[in-house]
Chain A
Amino acid sequence: NAGVTQTPKFQVLKTGQSMTLQCAQDMNHNSMYWYRQDPGMGLRLIYYSASEGTTDKGEVPNGYNVSRLNKREFSLRLESAAPSQTSVYFCASRTTGAPYGYGYTFGSGTRLTVV
């Protein structure tokens, strides 16, 4: 099925460990995004990639890095995990054929716990 695939679905890290969250879309979308969702705070944009080869900071980029590996894949890396990064992480993508096109397509999320 076409869509956005995130791996892993669940992860527990110890403080200071590193990990990479993977995201891939098969809809030929140009733009991709990483959000975190915390209770009572909605979704907050971490980083985005408007097109292949470009990345930009969002609202809460500290402690994260991203790589737009190719048009399909956009990964999020935590270099030294902290308990404050415990959250649910969502990857999303959209076409850029028109302003906001058909809206975002979201993956099913990665639930990350840092202990």
Chain B
Amino acid sequence: AQSVTQPDIHITVSEGASLELRCNYSYGATPYLFWYVQSPGQGLQLLLKYFSGDTLVQGIKGFEAEFKRSQSSFNLRKPSVHWSDAAEYFCAVGSSSGGYQKVTFGTGTKLQVIP
């Protein structure tokens, strides 16, 4: 069975500092990987996804993520954080079996941005 681990429950960074959110996955085949962001009281919004090809993927809002097969990781990065980035971030892995209907979400990392 597939699984996702986000080891950091809560992270605090200063505005303008760089950010890296960690994500490790477990899946036997080539995974479909996603990062979503959830602002308070809102649904989840897709930041970026990795299906194949270039292991560094660019997303919206200046985010990027790097797929590292050897480390089973898909970490999210941003070079300079803005106060509006404060939100909860979810990593997810999708299975290629079962008609591409099985997406497993991590437990989330809550980002706090301080001035």
* A interface, CB within 8 angstroms of B: 4, 31, 35, 40-45, 48, 50, 56, 90, 92, 96, 99-100, 102-109
Q: Which of the residues A31, A42, A103 comes within 8 Å of B101, measured between beta carbons?
A: A31
How many B residues have CB within 8 A of the partner chain? 25
A95 to nearest B CB, angstroms?
Answer: 11
Q: Once A and B bind, how many residue pairs between them come within 8 Å at the CB atom?
A: 61
Q: Which residues of A contact B108 (CB under 8 A)?
A: 42
Report the separation of the CA atoms of residues A44 and B45 in the bound assembly, to the nearest whole angstrom.
16
14 CB contacts below 8 A, A to B, read A31-B101, A42-B4, A43-B90, A44-B105, A45-B103, A48-B101, A50-B99, A92-B43, A96-B100, A99-B32, A99-B96, A102-B46, A108-B43, A109-B43
Interfacial residues of chain B within 4-55, with CB under 8 A of chain A in the complex: 4, 9, 32, 34, 36, 41-46, 49, 51
